[in-house]
Structure formats: C-alpha cells, structure tokens
Structure 1
C-alpha cells in the first residue's frame, strides 16, 4: 500500500472543508452544491468526466475565482473573507505549467523566492535544497524550455514548495507524462504527504487515484455522486466474479453440472460465478468441485475496480482532461 495512506486520518483536523459550493456560467451549472472534508496530511482525489467541474472546484478553493454559493475553509481560512490567508497556506500546480521557459530552472526558483519575499540568503538556500530534492541540480543552469515534460513538472512543484505550503492543489499533475515520469511524480506526492502536507489531487488516471488517495470523490454533473476510500467505492459496484477454466471437456461439463448457477462459455471451457472474491466464497466454490472430484486448470478472481466504479456512477467511458469549460473559464494564473 502507498506510504501516504495511514490509519486514523479521518480523525485529523480538516485541511479543506466545503459546504454547498455552487458555480454557474450563464445557464450552465458547473458545481451544484458540493460538500467536502479533507483531513490534514492526506491525499484527496477528485475524479470526474469532462465538464464535471474538477478544475472549477480547485479554482474556487484556491481563491482564483469566487463561488456563487456555499462556504469553504482552507487551512482554517474562509475563502471569501480571508483569501490572503488561504493563499499564504497553499500552493497550486496545474496541468499547464507556470514555468518560464526562457530562464533557467534556478532562476525560476529564485524568482519564486523573491515573490515570497524571502531574503537573498534564504532564497538561495531554499532553491538549493529543492533543486537537490527534485533531482534538478544538473539542469539548474539550463533554460527551462530545454527540460523534458517530467522535469518541467518537477520544477513546477519545486517552485510551489518555495513558500512551504501546508496544502497543495495538484490539478492533473501527470497529464502527458510518460509512465516513468508518472511514477516519479507519485513518489514525490507520497514524500510530500509524509512531511505532513495535504494534497488535493484531480486526475484523469483512475490508477493514480487508486494508488495515491486516502479518499476519493466522484464528481458528475456538478454533484458528488460517491465518496470514500478506493476499497469502499469498489464495494458499491456489483460484478465481482470467479472464472474457472478447464482443459478437459468432460471435467468442464461435470463442473458445469455441479455449479449449475455459473455462466458458461462452452467454446473457452470456462465458467463464471458471481462472487465478492472473499476467501469464504472461494472456499465454497472449491469445496463443491472437490466433492465431485474435479480440479480446475485455472482460477481467476475479478473484483470491481475504479474503472467499474467510474463508469457505473458517471455513465462515461472516458476520464479525459478537464473540459474546455473548466480550462478556459478564467485566466490560467497559478496561485503560489
């Protein structure tokens, strides 16, 4: 299990809480009264199809745009009455990098230190530490436009950390990265959480949420339609089954008679039995085969995964990038 996940997170104080957040653009309702509670020091993932409102939620909570209704607190500060307090406590990294490609990685970091009003000495110290932490020392003197996608994303997060935020909003942080860079980013996120940082993650990758998140919310048509741990969400969806395959046609026919409720695939010589995959149910199936002296050549267990959950709850077959509505409703400035 990921190191970011730990016991007792639900009892932690809320780093982010929201009640009834609403946002519309003309006659298009993007958020239709969502409630959130994210414990400090955890990873929270917001999933949803295109146009669900994921990026809009991030923009509201990071004070880039205002909500039409509802209330929210981030790091103990009300987003409406104390936006400066929110901004001082958070960092935001979006799918569109805020890195200036015309200057070096080190210069990007030092510029961020100046924006946070750090002294020259402290700014250089923080820059050196973060460049080392994110394995960017060798590239620090090169223009950022020469960096790979993964390097730019690491630099972007390093810049976000200059202000030592307690809460980080990562809006699709691994979009467009190759598998190795994605896994490197996952490790960075785990390390951040182990340091006590709270991570609010939106992602188009279901395996990413499954891998990293302590809790996951599924957003559809502006509403949260389910929330819980990955395991809790998977238990909402039926469809688990055990598949038995046989090489001997006679053994297959005997097993089909013994397991008369099983679905049959006569061509593949396989049987499919509804099951939650528990040890008790597997033992029951095997005991029934043993009672008639039959052994299956292959047994596989399928339990619902987050793909099944997502498709069932949203009626969508795609988890693609945030929609044009989400991407273009406001300028793309990042809060640092």
Structure 2
C-alpha cells in the first residue's frame, strides 16, 4: 500500500500498479491506436490519391500526431485516467494527492510518452518504472501522476471479530489515556489477522499485547477473560469513547445512551368558559302569624263547625 496525503490532510491507502499490469495496459492501448491509425491512413490514401507527395506526407504526419498522440490524451482526459487498456486491467491514473487528472496531466504524459514509449519501444518507461518505488515512468514524474489499481482482491484479513456479549461494558472504568497509538495499532493488526496465525503463536502474541495494555492501564487482565477477548473488548471501549467524544456525548452504536430523553410536557388545554356563580338570595320568609283574638285565644275561622273548634279551657257559665 502507498499512503497519499490529499489537500485536506487525509491519508489515502492506494495500491500502485506494477510494471506487468501497466505494460499489458499499454500494449492494449497501442493495439487499438495502431488499428485506428492504419484504418485512417488507408482511408486518407484512397481519398487523397490525386494530391502530390508533399500533401500526402503532411497528412500522414498529421494523422500520426492526432491518432497516436492526441487520441490517448483525449481518452485519458475524458475518462479521468481510464483508457481502454487500463479499464481492462483495472487501473486508473490519478494525481499525487489522489484526485482525478485533468487535461494538462494527460498532455504531459502523452508528450513524454512519445519519447519513452513510441520512439524507444518502451525501454525508458520500463527502466523508470523498475527504479521508481511506486512504479512511475517519466511521464508520471513530470505530470505529477500515479497509476493505481482499482480492483483489489478481497481479503477477510481486515475483519475484526467483536468481543463476547458478556464483556459489554466490563472495562468502561479503565484509564486508556496512557496507551500509546502504536500499541493500539498493534492490537488492531493482531485482531484483524489472528485468524491467519498459528493458534499457539497467536495466543502468545495476544498474551503479550494484553500484558502491555494492562501495564499501561494499571489494571490486570481478569483471569476468566481470554487475552484475545480482552483485547477486543478494550479496543471496542476505546472506539466507543472516541465516538462519544466526536459526537458530543451521544451514545455510540452498541453502547447505552448517556442521557435519558425527557418526555415533553403535554400542551395546556384551553380554558373552558364557565357560568358565573349564582348570587345568594335570602330564603323565603313565612307570613307573620295572625294576631291573637281579644279573648286571649287563637282566631278560629267562622266556617269551622262548633263541635270541631278547639277548646279554650274555660267552662261556660250555667
């Protein structure tokens, strides 16, 4: 892998194309260009048979320049670095910072390619590619480009197994600030490739890495936890902390949320108009009693029969 740094200071891991794949791509491009050149030359010879020799020679030179030089430049510019041969071989031309190439890059590559590929039959290009650490020919050096591989074989070496579920949150109280970055990188590389290692060698490496991590954290490795599971759990804890720090305290995937959401208060209901309270009124009063009769008793209506009238307690005189 070759590490390229973009303009935003982002490191890209790209695999440069080597000489065999680049040579095959160039041969395919040359075969197509020569076939087009021959077809165009024959058509011009038939069409310009009545012209003199000087005119035919000028047309031949113009055809050579346009087809064998301008053709590859135009194809690489329009396809952003993928000619027919490179598409067949899974290659692409990119800038030194990993960005797509433009017309000026293709122009420099094409003009220098006339000298190092066409005029010397590719000898200069092969020597330059073998000497360069990233397989660059002179056209790539002057244009600031690089040919990389787009189709990389898939490998399961980068898969890191997750820690056992019973270790979730077990090491949340560890102090991981003293663990250096190179030790974390070694742990990641071991977890990504432990399936390809011999079991005894892998176990010994896990014990050594676990001891180094435990020495930096100040807490020993629990006896009931295997070293590979310990490394996976500690690495997951570090990634969870970085995710929470990056997203402002939000919970990382697979971890519990730090803040409990509070349910919003229900909206206040509108006040229902009510009838005004009744005004208290005085209770109805009974009619005043009738005044007593002159004889000291109650006045009895005249229509009451004498036998039913109440007695006065006095006996009439004989």
**TM-score normalised by the shorter chain: which range applies?**
under 0.3
Instruction: Point out the structure with the larger helix share.
Output: 2
What is the TM-score of this pair, normalised by structure 2? Answer: 0.21
Q: Which has the higher contact order (CA 8 A, sep 6+)?
A: 1
Q: Which has the larger radius of gyration?
A: 2
Instruction: Point out the structure with the larger strand share.
Output: 1
What is the TM-score of this pair, normalised by structure 1? Answer: 0.20
